[in-house]
Amino acid sequence: MKKLTLLFIVTIAFAATASAQKRFSADDFAKNMGKTGTLCDTVYSLRVVSDTLALLNMGGVYPNQKYTVAIKGNKVTLDYTNLKGKPLCVTGVFLMYKNRPEIEVSEPEQINAK
């Protein structure tokens, strides 16, 4: 019974580790281009471009942000008026857009408030 319990615990721990996304800091962005990871930082400024595009500037105010989160589509619903100054974690692929670091988000589960 003890062996079975130990095996169960080890299996659960391994599954949780395997499914977790790797967390990166904004300083690690360039080293992890093309990889999927999670970044947590503060929203410094934002711009709602349309019903299907919002841009969050993380780690600094535009044009000096560390990176931009592009929220595309209409599946993600956030209270944009209260996001400024709040910490946020975003999971996605690290990309460059017009030589600027960016993460594209289109699903609600990619964004988590801290």
Classify each residue of 85-109 as buried b or exposed e, where b means 16 or more C-beta atoms within 10 Å of its C-beta. Answer: eeebebbbebbeeeeebbbbbeeee
C-alpha distances (whole Å) from 6 to each of 2, 3, 9, 10, 88 are 6, 5, 5, 6, 36
**7 located within any domain:** no
Higher pLDDT, 114 or 34: 34
The pTM (predicted TM-score) of the whole model is 0.73
DSSP H or E segment with residue 19: helix 2-19
pLDDT confidence of 78, banded at 50, 70, 90?
confident
Check whether 22 has a pLDDT greater than 70.
no
Quote the CA–CA distance of 99 and 96 in Å, as a whole number. Answer: 5
What pLDDT was estimated at residue 58? 93
Q: Residue 66 is part of which domain span?
A: 23-113
**77 located within any domain:** yes
Check whether 30 has a pLDDT greater than 70.
yes
| pLDDT tens-digit map of 41-71 | 999 999 999 989 999 999 899 999 999 999 9
What pLDDT was estimated at residue 86? 93
**12 located within any domain:** no
**69 located within any domain:** yes
Residue 15: both structure tokens together: 């599954």
CATH code where residue 29 lies = 2.40.50.140
Number of domains within the chain: 1
**41 located within any domain:** yes
**17 located within any domain:** no
pLDDT confidence of 21, banded at 50, 70, 90?
low
Q: Which amino acid is at 106?
A: S
**78 located within any domain:** yes
**31 located within any domain:** yes
